[in-house]
Structure 1
């Protein structure tokens, strides 16, 4: 059974998201090591959400409730005084609804900026981190990989990508009112990740020419050469020369000590956990825009036709395939057993390779139509009828999984 606990910008305070996102790197490993019923775990922490995706053993008594408590217990420390508020606001999702949610998240339909471009990459990087940590599972792999396909289909069909939606662009829209001429404004990027690359494109679209980059990991020179901007080696000096600073890193926190006094500057924090200490807002001349403020201005634009329907259909097809898989495997196994026996008889009688090939092709043709019907019945909620037919006609007993019937559970 798949399970997800989500805390996001709609139901959880940004300060709480900031604190719990700091344990994202270790949570998946902690969950799989501590709880034997957790087969796999992938943790997604982005600029406006924290989510733990789990595969649970079946049957697990009170599965969704037990999993919810397991995750929240581990978040209690970083949540601190807000632990009870987090328990009340976090949402639990179980069974087939997890796939619908994951596909929507990956496609940007659940983002602060609906249709944002960066989220799909963040979802896949979360899967990559779980692979490296050894915490993913076959079911989670399938779901996350298909989420990428669903995102591509939605963007290609609904034309969401053409709108160029991202938090960086929303932030720069807010900065427009403070800038007379982008061509003369020195801009500093702190970080060299995907957000930084997106931000450069958004800056150049506005006419910015003086763009610089600083990286605490030493990648500034290589990044600057790739994008044709200037690399900086000292953070304080670089901020001192900038009128606008955008932070796009998960590895560094800008503090008051990094901010020279003496000029007005706008600092935009696009990170979660926070890239800029909130106390920076008290430095003379500094205006700080963080995710909470940016989120208030993130309008919900209309998407291309059918975006939600495309993602919903993709999730339904995936769930139908997964639900029907045991019946399909059982049927194919039954056909394969008969095929193997018939091929052996052909060989015993001196049959040739062409006859064997013809038999294998016939077996494939025979199994095709029932495979399609199994998925159709699963999508219609009638899979039990197909399974009953297999048992009646061929004596094939299909393992019945309770996980296929679980629906979403909301906390509260």
Structure 2
């Protein structure tokens, strides 16, 4: 099992490319990857500033990076264009990258707190599509654990870093009092809710919401804002428009006057046609502009240390797995031999007694295996796994493994 990551993000790919690709990603994308030879499972992560495919590739695959990019080029509209710019990471490098992404350390806004949920939702979506293997499940769960450790050790969670908060920080010198300013939020998803919370924290009171899906009224009632049912009219009466949806695009036709206003596009695919920014009176801030102003938090080094520690621990445990499985198999084989002897010597006449003895022996075997399994992981994390393996072979002489690990090997 080899983990392969194909990553296209704000560092290596133009936003226009990410925008076009985001329009062709859907719930079936992950399962479509698995139709290719050697790709056993897939999780696809598509956010406002990145597209990533995490693929579980067979051990016997030659040049897995080429397999991944070829699959990507054929699956998505504009996939070939994306494949030309992606960075391919495999094995330990892919695992390190996933842990960093899940913890917000690779985001355009360092430490932003939406990404961990987006990563886990990508896992759930792939799981529901039947595209997740045990290997992918395990590494994504460990990435979530690393993220929780980062939040506990740093102030990233306390700062509540998000794209919208970064934008509002950018506007501090231009907006001294938010209370009288009419603000329109386009969209009714979770990010729209975050946007309202951020605006209210700065004193905004005149908040309105529009949704083409017909959910504006219910959303407005829940968050105590005003619902709008006509987008051009709502935009005409707003001084600031913030879009956070992927369902439709604000075009020049939606701008019915040349009143000065600020439009903020937080979406990918784009929510606002770039041509809107060329109209008189319109200032458009999109992800490309936001990315230039996203500063790194002071505790980034601490966060990276935490992620690095969790990544190293996971990789060490993976390295120790063959030794642990070999040792447990040795105990299981020995137990099976002794239980067979027990049945031969006592027969079925004492079945109740035999069952009690078998339960006791199985419990003893589990206890016997636990201690060395823990020690194997500890030695692996300390870089001394070879010492443990030599000692294990010297004392117990377990049979060496003749095949790679499979999902059935529980460690």
TM category, shorter? 0.7 to 0.9
- Hey, what does 1:268 align to over in structure 2? 264
1:280 maps onto 2:253 in alignment: no
Matched, 1:177 2:173: yes
Aligned twin of 1:302: 298
In the alignment, does 2:407 pair up with 1:371?
no
- What is the aligned counterpart of 1:199 among 175, 195, 201? 195
- 1:222-243 per-position Cα deviation (integer Å, ceiling 9, x unaligned): 3222222222222222222211
Partner of 2:399: 396
> How far did residue 184 of structure 1 move?
0.6
Deviation at 1:41?
1.2
Counterpart CA distance in 2 for 1:325 and 1:265 is 59
How many residues align structurally?
Answer: 397
Correspondence for 1:216: 212
> Structure 2 vs 1, CA of residues 384 and 217 (structure 1 numbering), >3 Å: closer, same or farther?
farther
Q: Does 1:324 align with 2:320?
A: yes
How far apart are 1:27 and its partner, in Å?
3.4
**Equivalent residue of 1:4, what SS?**
strand
1: CA distance, partners of 2:29 / 2:311: 26
Superposition map of 1:13-412 within 5 A: 13-25=14-26, 26-33=28-35, 35-74=36-75, 77-78=77-78, 83=81, 89-303=85-299, 306-342=302-338, 351=353, 356=358, 358-379=360-381, 383=385, 386=388, 393-399=396-402, 401=404
Which segments of 5 or more consecutive residues in structure 2 lack a partner in the other structure? 407-411
Structure 1 residues 143, 183: CA separation in 2 closer, same or farther (over 3 Å shift)?
same
SS in 2 for 1:178: coil
Residues 326 and 399 in structure 1, CA contact (< 8 A), matched pair in contact too: no
Deviations 1:374-393 (CA, angstroms, capped at 9, x unpaired): 32344456656655665664
TM (norm. structure 1) is 0.87
> For the Cα contact (< 8 Å) 1:390–1:397, is it kept in 2?
no
Q: Deviations over 1:329-351 (max 9, x none)?
A: 33223323333444566676554
Instruction: List, as ranges, runs of 4+ consecutive aligned residues in structure 1 with deviation greater than 6 Å.
Output: none
Measured in 2, the distance between the counterparts of 1:335 and 1:401 equals: 19
Q: TM-score, normalised by structure 2?
A: 0.88
Greater length-normalized contact order (CA 8 Å, ≥ 6 residues apart) = 1
Shift of 1:356: 5.0
Q: Per the alignment, do residues 97 and 399 of structure 1 end up closer, same or farther by CA in structure 2, a change over 3 Å counting?
A: farther
Assess if the C-alpha contact under 8 Å between 1:213 and 1:231 holds in 2: yes
Which shows bigger deviation, 160-169 or 373-382?
373-382
Alpha-carbon distance in 2 for matches of 1:218, 1:173 = 31
**Alpha-carbon distance, 1:112 to partner:** 0.9
Q: Deviations over 1:33-87 (max 9, x none)?
A: 2x12111111111111111110101111122333233324545x5167xx3xx55
Deviations 1:313-340 (A, max 9, x none): 2122222333333432332233233334
Give RMSD over aligned pairs: 2.6
Q: Give the Cα separation in 2 of the matches to 1:402 and 1:136.
A: 17
